[in-house]
Structure 1
């Protein structure tokens, strides 16, 4: 069982409060444990909530050893672990290490006074000398902002292909999530059309999947419009402009808008963190991960602003160690 620590609500001052219970948040907690610091994770969903909401059959680009935290072995039966194996690994660590974590509790506000942070949540208030924000980016879709985007048939999250069998599907985007959705729904009998703003499938698509989608497009099994953009979504059709600037309207049952996701920039700004440039990159020191607010740190994907492909589990595991070194100094 996870320790409830209800007395934290009585404003005992923690050494560290961690916002977000993903892989990097867990790694920060393990570093705090190792250094005998009092800490608590506040997580709005379940443990590694973003991974839980990934497509059911998703496989990582990274191999298992590159997803490991705290030198705890990640045993996988396949070269590239899948969603379920990752859930078992990270949730298993939370159980085995008895990590102090509050689940299904959302942080609303972080303020600072006299070197102590007050963290307000949906269930109470906490105090801490240091705060680590490790909230990822999976909660806020990157909306297209076009008419009809709020229709029930438009989905910004994709889990599995079965609901789309024998349906006319439009997949928006050309990244890993879009390609996976297109291939999986096609193989379950959907009539798939991809609307892609760029001139080709994204170079970041997993190398063992990219030839598959390109071959399906080349043979005509999946229709793809490159250099094109949706302008309106209607109840039974989708309207888009193609690369020649011509307006097209096609029949449609569902739109899978795999347009990416964004960090909660309002939460970062309200916490006092400066955001810079077009990508709204949060200001932090790369050697300590400390933001412009003293003793307020960032860890993981949230560090990249709108550039959500900059950081991932494999290359942000080091953030926990950098932060704890800074705190201990």
Structure 2
């Protein structure tokens, strides 16, 4: 997802206005807002020996945090539990990424996102969401994984959790929100015997660790194209592999001529309709995939963009690392364990859009997980609205 100068996220986020925010924080000094926010609840208040919470939220991304703010504003007790840190997915984005949309489309909880630049960086977004947590004194339990969710006879939910030290705990709640986002599980490569995964990386942050290395970028979307271009311009020997015969339609139009020219000149070798089938020390085997090649053809079949492989031909190439920019999918394990139905064609959990409640009473969804297989349907700008719908529904059941 990185570009030659500043990477721009495909999500429709952010911009800004100069000056200080409403809570007096100078946006140019994000560290000033990170004063170790502490929950107003005691450490044991959400546990199994206490009264049940009104709402337990799984996932501390922007949409999960928005749900927590909405719950608190309606007087509902809550806890936000995440196996990682606050906005964990953002920490995996390229270090120098710049978001696309205006700042107000990123804002949650009525906390202004004020920055001097036109559009925020990854660092500014990370600082902003931590400021939201501190401003509202949200109950966020970081690095605590929800391993299972059960339900008692009276309808109360019990969340079984595990912290990094291995200690297990339980949280009781009247209702549950699953807001685990779209980065639950990577789409892994189909390598023989599931081998050499330590050389396969699903997050790309910056090119410098790969200097003077042979890197294969797998994928045909924006993240793959922009990573390949940035690697190429920073001393990396890079080639691309895509199972289709064309790039994804969503590749940014101002990036497309650059990658097309690099491929046509041979500066970035391209293997269309192919896949990485095997990794050995220092090498990789790329196989022409008949089914993938049949799915698409290059825009110009007579130009230099197609690697001249016969169908089924295996080619061994130098390889130190594989960047698998193959996308992610939501982790629906908790939803399925609760009995939530999911459309097999769209991947969308069965839910009421007016309340975000699923077919299981008391179980709600928020954010990207509600989009199913098409993660481009829901962004921060519309996913943040789910929290108000959920809080209103839970408060209404009183």
TM range (shorter): over 0.9
* In structure 2, distance between residues paired with 1:324 and 1:223: 52
* In structure 1, distance between residues paired with 2:255 and 2:61: 26
Matched, 1:145 2:190: yes
Which residue is equivalent to 1:39? 78
* In structure 2, distance between residues paired with 1:131 and 1:68: 23
Residue segments in structure 1 that go unaligned for 5+ positions in a row: none
Which residue is equivalent to 1:289? 356
Matched, 1:275 2:275: no
CA shift for structure 1 position 38: 0.9
Q: Secondary structure at the match of 2:267?
A: coil
- Relative to the length of structure 1, the TM-score reads 0.93
Once superposed, what is the RMSD of the aligned Cα atoms?
2.0
CA shift for structure 1 position 25: 0.6
Which residue is equivalent to 1:124? 169
Which residue is equivalent to 1:202? 248
Given candidates 387, 390, 395, the residue that maps to 1:320 is 387
* In structure 2, distance between residues paired with 1:272 and 1:162: 45
Q: Secondary structure at the match of 2:115?
A: coil
CA shift for structure 1 position 250: 1.3
- Contact 1:11/1:125 (<8 A) preserved: no
Q: How many residues are aligned here?
A: 329
- Contact 2:191/2:277 (<8 A) preserved: yes
Residues 1:236 and 1:163: Cα distance change in structure 2 (over 3 Å): same
Given candidates 161, 174, 178, the residue that maps to 2:207 is 161
- Relative to the length of structure 2, the TM-score reads 0.77
CA shift for structure 1 position 74: 1.7
Which residue is equivalent to 2:7? none
- Contact 1:149/1:233 (<8 A) preserved: no
Residues 1:278 and 1:207: Cα distance change in structure 2 (over 3 Å): same
Residue segments in structure 2 that go unaligned for 5+ positions in a row: 1-36, 163-167, 294-309
* In structure 2, distance between residues paired with 1:58 and 1:209: 15
Larger radius of gyration: 2
What are the Cα deviations for residues 202-257 of structure 1, in whole angstroms up to 9, with x where unaligned? Answer: 23234544443334333432222222222222222222234441332211111111
Given candidates 29, 42, 46, the residue that maps to 1:8 is 46
What are the Cα deviations for residues 168-220 of structure 1, in whole angstroms up to 9, with x where unaligned? Answer: 11000022321232122112111111101223322323454444333433343
Which residue is equivalent to 1:87? 126
Residues 1:69 and 1:219: Cα distance change in structure 2 (over 3 Å): farther
